[in-house]
Amino acid sequence: MVQEDATARLDPVRSAVRHRDISRRAPTLDVVDQAHELSAKLDAVELEHVLRRAVAQFGVTAFIEDVASPLLRRIGEDWHAGRLSIAQEHLASSTVHDIIMEAMRSMARRSASATVLVATPAGERHAIGAALVGAAAAADGWGVLYLGTDVPATDIAAAAKATKAAVVAMSVTYVHDRGRTLEEIRSLRDLLPPTVTLVVGGAGATGIALDVAAAGVRVGVTLADLRDTLRDATEPHAA
């Protein structure tokens, strides 16, 4: 009887928490729906306006996690299913990419106590995942060195050493050549000092997770995983 009473008292609390979480996310879900519709209509001007307004309203971190990521995932799924054309998918991706890159650069801190280097391995030419990683790190107060896409392991390692980066974050969206991708990541781990954390994330990381983990590389499929890795590496002071 006592246990039943305690459970009854907890139910309103749990309901309130669920309601608060849904209320917080509902506005961002509306933005995702609106942006998806505008992408399908190829309305570039209004799409950019809606997304920029969302950044101002929710902040960069919430925009990345609750707007950009679910929007891109939904757009990608619809493209693969044939519900959206390449033009519609590219419009959404390029608009999000431009806004995220602008946000990342605006938050860049030369005086940040730690640096994360962001790139994609040789052969990976999808930039949006790396851009999201860089912006999320910058929002958490990290100095970000963004090298872009298709960067050989030797160049990444050299840049990391030159800038004394504490973390190297690699974005892998699609694994077109499994052997080459694994070779690049393993080579990079060998070239980096053992004190530098190497994390690989993105949709393509799930299929190679066991292999890269065995090489001493952390795997962070989601942005939340990445932020956990950054917190473990060191604790810079956020702006």
Q: Do residues 160 and 115 touch, judged by C-beta distance below 8 A?
A: no
Q: Name the token pair of 40.
A: 């399908």
The residue extents of the domains of the chain are: 2-105, 109-233
pLDDT tens, residue by residue, 87-100: 999 999 999 999 99
**Domain 2-105 shares a fold with domain 109-233:** no
Residue carrying structure tokens 């997770």: 209
At the top level of CATH, the class of 2-105 is: mainly alpha
pLDDT tens, residue by residue, 172-214: 988 889 999 999 999 999 999 999 999 999 888 889 999 999 9
Q: What is the CATH number of domain 109-233?
A: 3.40.50.280
pTM of the model: 0.80
Give the three-class secondary structure for 106: helix
